């Protein structure tokens, strides 16, 4: 989940673009952002596109936001 400069929240899939920023989370059967990265500023390129097999479960024709590039400002 990212928040843009206007304060709009965007839910986007990283698809291995985010480095080692996440820890496994058995509670949600997925991953959670590491605490040291919460509320940090990033520069990101995000595209709304068809799933096309990028996310397991939803159909290939469903569209989602995907992070194409992301840089963390420390």
Is the confidence at residue 4, as pLDDT, over 90? no
Q: What are the CA-CA distances from residue 56 to residues 30, 50, 51, 53, 59 (Å)?
A: 12, 13, 9, 6, 8
3-state secondary structure of 66: strand
pLDDT number for residue 19: 76
pLDDT number for residue 11: 87
Instruction: Please write the tens of the pLDDT for every residue from 31-40.
Output: 788 888 888 8
Tokens of 30: 């997925």
Instruction: Please write the tens of the pLDDT for every residue from 42-69.
Output: 898 999 999 998 888 899 999 999 989 8
Q: What is the spatial distance between Cα 36 and Cα 39, in angstroms, rounded to a whole number? A: 9
């Amino acid at each position: 989940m990212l928040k843009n400069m206007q304060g709009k929240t965007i839910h986007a899939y990283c698809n291995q673009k985010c480095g080692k920023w996440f820890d496994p989370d058995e509670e949600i059967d997925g991953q959670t952002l590491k605490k040291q990265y919460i509320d940090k500023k990033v520069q990101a390129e995000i595209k709304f596109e068809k799933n096309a097999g990028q996310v397991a479960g939803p159909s290939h024709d469903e569209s989602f936001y995907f992070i194409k590039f992301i840089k963390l400002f420390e």
